[in-house]
Structure 1
C-alpha cells in the first residue's frame, strides 16, 4: 500500500489516520490534546502518528505524504500554530518540521482545520467547486473553496470566520478581541454566554458548572431560559453564516464539529430559517456532515493524496 497520512489537531483531541490513495483508512489513532506546552502538543501529535502507522502495519518512513488540519492561527511559512486562543497559554506548536523528520518526507502540508475539511468534502463528498466547510466546535472556523481554488490566505489564515465581528463591543473572545462570532456560539463560549444572559429566572440548569451540552439538553427539555439562550445562539450563527455567504458565494455550506453534530436540529434549523433574511445573494444549501467526527482528519488525508 502506498501510505498517506492525515492529522487533525483540535483543542480537545488529536486524530491521525493512515490510508491509501483511494482514501481507504487502514490505521488510526486518537490522543487528548495536552494543555501544557506547544512542545507537549507536538509530542502528542507524533505519538498519534506513530500509533496510526502501527495500526496500519506501516513504518512512519513509509508514508509518502501527509496533510495536517489544525486549529489556528497558523504560521504556514514556519509550519506552526501560533497563540491558539482555545489552548490558553500555548504560544507555538511546531508541526511541519517534526513531522518531516519522523516521516522522512518533505511532502507535509499544513492547513487550518476547516480548510482541510473543505478539501475533504470536495474530494470525498459532493461539495463541488464552490463550497464552505464550517466547523462549530470548541471554536468556530471555516474553509472555503471558490471556483475550485482552495483559499489559504496570508500564512494560511484565510476564512478565520470565528473571529468575524458580529456584535461590536460585545463579549470578549478568547483571542482578546470583542464581539466575535466565536465568543457567542463556540462550544467553549455557550455556557459563559448563558451565565451572562441569566437574569434570575427559574431554570433547571446548574449554571455554575453547566457546559454547552447541558444548555442544549435543557432547551430540548423545554427549559424557558435555556431555550432563550439557544435562540440567541441561533441568531448569531445566522449572522455569521450570512457573512460567509457574502464573502465566498458558496453553493453549499457543509457544517461539522461537535456542537453541530450533537445538536443538529437546534443548531442548523435556525440558520436555515433565518439566513434568507440576511443574505442579498443566493442562499446556499446548509448540509450536516461529519457524523463520525472525522471530517477534518479525512480532509487532511485528502490534502496528502492531492498534494494540496
Structure 2
C-alpha cells in the first residue's frame, strides 16, 4: 500500500549525505546516498543536500512531502532548528537548517540529533521495537547515542541528551574531538580505531599487514585482527574492552531492556558483538542489569534516514492535531 503522507528525510553525516522519502511504516523510497565533501563548506553542502531532496521526491513518485525531518550530529538546538556547531562538520556554526528546509520545500520541518533519531527509528521499526527502555549507540565517524526511557524518546533539557560517545573510558587518555581526553569516541569510533592503528604503525616497527595499505581504515583493522595480525588485534581488543565497559556503565544506570549498536563499525558483526556482550554479562550489576540484551541495529545504514522520517511524521501528526483542536 502506497503511503498517502510521505515525509522527506535528510541525514547529514560527516562522510555521507543520505536522503529518502519515508512512509508511515518506515520504508524508504527514492533513497540517495552521496559524499558530504564537507570541505566545500556549509552553503555548498546544504545546496547539494536540498538538490538530493528534490531528486528523491521525484524518484519516489509519491508527490510532495507533508514534512521534512532532518538528522545531524550535535551540538544542535532541536527546538529552534539550528545546527550550533556539529563536531563532525567544522565551521558549521549557527546554521538555521530547519528554516532553510522549510523555505526550500514549502512544508514544516524538524531537526533531531542523528543518534537520537536512530534510537527513535530502532524503537519504532527495528531491534528495539516494543521495548520499554532502550539505548542506542552508533559507532561511525564518531560515537553517538540515544535513549528511549519508559517508552518515550529522551532528548534532554537542550535536545542533546544521550551523548554516550563522550563518557570517559580512559581518564587522561586520547584527545577527543570534543576537546576532552579519554572519551569513548576517541577509542571506539571508526575514525579513531584507524588513527590508533596508524599511531602504532608509526611509533614502532612491529610487523603488520596494515603496513601494506596506503590508508588504514577501521574495516581494515577489523579484518586484519580477524586474520591474526597481532598489532591489529591489540587495537581491536582495546576497542571492544572500552566499548563493553561503557555499555556496562550505561546498563547499570538505565537498566534497559535492550542496547542496540549501529553504525559502520558494527559491520564487523560477531567479532564486535560477542566480546562486548560477554563483558556486559560478566560486569553489569545483578540481577536485572545482566538481563539486558545487546544486539545489532536492524535498520542498517538507513537508520538515521528512517529516524528523520519518523521525526517528520510525528511533526505532521502533531500539527494536524493542533489544527483540529483549533477548529
TM-score when scaled to structure 1? 0.91
Whether contact under 8 Å (2:98, 2:111) holds in the other structure is yes
Distance 2:17 2:5 in 1: 23
What is the aligned counterpart of 1:169 among 161, 172, 184?
172
Whether contact under 8 Å (1:34, 1:40) holds in the other structure is no
Distance 1:241 1:51 in 2: 39
Q: Which residue pairs with 1:268 in the alignment?
A: 273
Q: Displacement of 1:57 after TM fit?
A: 2.4
What is the aligned counterpart of 2:295 among 287, 290, 308?
287
> What is the Cα-based RMSD across aligned positions, in Å?
2.0
Are 2:185 and 1:179 equivalent residues in the alignment? no
What do the CA deviations read for 1:176-215 (whole angstroms, capped 9, x no partner)?
2111100011001112212344543222212773221111
Distance 2:249 2:94 in 1: 29
Distance 1:208 1:33 in 2: 22
Mapping for residues 1-308 of structure 1, pairs under 5 Å: 1-35=4-38, 36-58=40-62, 62-106=64-108, 108-125=109-126, 127=128, 128-197=131-200, 199-206=204-211, 209-260=215-266, 262-281=267-286, 282-283=289-290, 284-290=292-298, 292-307=300-315
Q: Displacement of 1:146 after TM fit?
A: 0.3
TM-score when scaled to structure 2? 0.86
Distance 1:30 1:204 in 2: 31
Secondary structure of 1:293's aligned partner: helix
Distance 1:58 1:138 in 2: 32
Alignment CA distance shift 1:247-1:10 (3 Å): farther
What do the CA deviations read for 1:81-104 (whole angstroms, capped 9, x no partner)?
233222334434431111111222
Distance 2:122 2:116 in 1: 10
Gapped regions of structure 1 (runs ≥ 5):
none
Alignment CA distance shift 1:209-1:16 (3 Å): closer
What do the CA deviations read for 1:149-194 (whole angstroms, capped 9, x no partner)?
1111133110111111111111001122111100011001112212
Whether contact under 8 Å (2:25, 2:125) holds in the other structure is no
Alignment CA distance shift 1:197-1:111 (3 Å): same
Distance 1:165 1:143 in 2: 17
Q: By percentage of residues, which structure has more strand? A: 1
Distance 1:45 1:92 in 2: 17
Distance 1:183 1:123 in 2: 30
Q: How many residues align?
A: 304
Distance 2:65 2:308 in 1: 14
Gapped regions of structure 2 (runs ≥ 5):
319-327
Q: By percentage of residues, which structure has more helix? A: 2
